[in-house]
Amino acid sequence: MSKYDDLFDETAPTDSVFAQKDVLDPLAEADEIIARENQERTLATILNGVHEGYLPPTVSIHGPPGTGKTMTTRRITSEFAARTDLLAVEYVNLKDCRSIFSAANEIHFALTGEKRGAYEGLDGVFEGIWTELADYPEWTVLLLDEIDHVQHDTNYDPNEFFYRLLRGEGKLVRDIHLSCWLLSNELVTVDLRLDSRVESVLGDEELFFPPYGRDTLRAILEPRIERAFCDGAVPEDSFEHGVRKAAFHWGDARRALRLFRRAGEMANDRGLDQVTIDCLDANIEETEREATIEKLLSLPPKHFTVLVGVTDWKQTQTGEIVQPVTAAKIQEDGTLTQLDLGDRAIRTVITELETMGLVETWIDSKGDEGRVKQIQTTFDPQWVREAADPYLEASDTLSSGGD
């Protein structure tokens, strides 16, 4: 027997708690969309506008991660398109687009299967988009997922991108009816500094997907847990506990699925035949850490930099991060000077970070200094440090020293 025979024998699933683990993969198509009837109805009503000759130029679909935005929007648009020749739908994910040009090129690719060379510029890409769309059905819905990843870059301004997409000459000349549905978590407009001509179109139609509460998460998870695990492997009290924790911490179906998958893996590792409450609890912190780091990585540069300022201004000799801090202390941070953020800008960003639930603030009376705002992260500040390297790697703005 080779060492690999032993290895594979040792790691082979015997007495696994799982019956069909892939049912817990959030990318697997859910059979049914649960508890999004209102959103489905709103989107269906918008789509039915084609029978009256009108679709809004934009529909902003926003809400926290894992709340069913992508799944609901893709399903309803494709079901509608399958029932009429009047409308086509295309889906583009902009998550990995690091520049305005690459975002436009990604749309070009979705429509034509090809990308344009950088030398053709935004003009070339949009010309290609309009030429292709001219041969599409009368109406096209373009789903632009993770639109909040589009950022200022050194060559183009997002206003330019949105203006061309929504109002472009090439589109008008060819009389193309395009409705752009913009899917995002939050803050599409905050860091883009969009001008009023673009903002007025972006504000067209809005649809919010709130986080899931306990009952909805239970309804989403129940059929999947039942299929994913062996009979009796997830006792009622463990299931309820997991649902309650997931609703409390995230309200996010994707993370809830991940939590149960991990807890099941832990039960297997421990040789248990049931997923215990302990297995769930042990994985909550890890899922929370991943969730927060994911959120940090999707922040605009100035928000991320201010968080670095909040967590980085002072450490003890053992490397412990000292919190809370004041806005004045944050300003002492070197990276902030690179981005040239003034006192007011920092305060605005802090308020936005607070709205996102990433920091908490309070006012302290400091004798002669008067009243001073104290700021600290709502999560383990070390996670900002963990996110820093991958963030810098992906960011043109910060790694090149600001724009």
Ligand X SMILES: Nc1ncnc2c1ncn2[C@@H]1O[C@H](COP(=O)(O)OP(=O)(O)OP(=O)(O)O)[C@@H](O)[C@H]1O
Query: Both ends of the chain: CA-CA distance in Å?
Result: 61
Binding segment toward ligand X, per CB under 6 A, in 8-16, 30-38, 231-239, 325-333: 30-38
Q: Which DSSP category does 372 fall into?
A: E
Check residue 187 for interaction with ligand X (CB under 6 A): no
Between 105 and 184, name the residue whose CB sits nearer to ligand X.
184
State in angstroms the smallest separation of the CB of 239 from ligand X. 16
Binding segment toward ligand X, per CB under 6 A, in 43-51, 62-70, 122-130, 234-242: 62-70
Between 49 and 223, name the residue whose CB sits nearer to ligand X.
223
Check residue 268 for interaction with ligand X (CB under 6 A): no
Check residue 242 for interaction with ligand X (CB under 6 A): no
Does the annotation flag 69 for ligand binding? yes
Between 122 and 256, name the residue whose CB sits nearer to ligand X.
256
Check residue 287 for interaction with ligand X (CB under 6 A): no
Does the annotation flag 98 for ligand binding? no
Does the annotation flag 154 for ligand binding? no
Contacts of 18 (CB under 8 A, 6+ apart): 228, 229, 230, 233, 264, 268
Does the annotation flag 266 for ligand binding? no
Binding segment toward ligand X, per CB under 6 A, in 45-53, 66-74, 283-291, 359-367: 66-74
- Contact pattern from residue 70 through residue 109 relative to ligand X, giving x for each residue in contact according to CB under 6 A and a dash for the rest: xx--------------------------------------
| 143: alpha, beta or left? (left if phi > 0; alpha if psi -120 to 50) | beta
State in angstroms the smallest separation of the CB of 348 from ligand X. 24
Check residue 26 for interaction with ligand X (CB under 6 A): yes
Q: Alpha helix (H) ranges present in 155-252?
A: 158-167, 169-173, 196-202, 214-228, 236-249
Task: Give the separation between CA 205 and CA 141, rounded to whole angstroms.
Answer: 14
Check residue 356 for interaction with ligand X (CB under 6 A): no
Do 66 and 253 meet the contact criterion of CB atoms below 8 Å apart? yes
Check residue 68 for interaction with ligand X (CB under 6 A): yes
Map residue 194 onto helix, strand or coil: coil
State in angstroms the smallest separation of the CB of 150 from ligand X. 15
Residue whose CB is nearest to ligand X in the complex, by number: 68
| 7: alpha, beta or left? (left if phi > 0; alpha if psi -120 to 50) | alpha
Place of tokens 């209102």: 38
Between 220 and 336, name the residue whose CB sits nearer to ligand X.
220
Between 161 and 209, name the residue whose CB sits nearer to ligand X.
209
Secondary structure (DSSP) of 1-42: --HHHHHHHHHS-SS-SBS-GGGG-TTSPPSS--S-HHHHHH
* Apex 151 CA angle, 145 and 156, nearest 5: 115
Between 34 and 228, name the residue whose CB sits nearer to ligand X.
34
What are the φ and ψ backbone dihedral angles of 157, each rounded to 5 degrees?
-105, 135
For residue 261, give both structure tokens: 């998958």
Secondary structure (DSSP) of 267-335: HHHTT-SS--HHHHHHHHHHHHHHHHHHHHHTS-HHHHHHHHHHHHS-B-TT-PBP--B-HHHHHT-HH
State in angstroms the smallest separation of the CB of 174 from ligand X. 31
Check residue 185 for interaction with ligand X (CB under 6 A): yes
For ligand X, the binding residues in 104-163 under the rule CB under 6 A are: none
Between 32 and 269, name the residue whose CB sits nearer to ligand X.
32
Query: Contact with ligand X (CB under 6 A): which of 17, 18, 23, 36?
Result: 36
Q: Alpha helix (H) ranges present in 97-235?
A: 100-112, 121-133, 158-167, 169-173, 196-202, 214-228
For residue 352, give both structure tokens: 């936005």
Query: Contact with ligand X (CB under 6 A): which of 17, 18, 23, 34?
Result: 34
Positions touching ligand X (CB under 6 A) are 26, 30, 33-36, 65-71, 185, 209, 220, 253-254
> Which residue ranges are tagged as binding site for ATP?
67-71, 212, 224
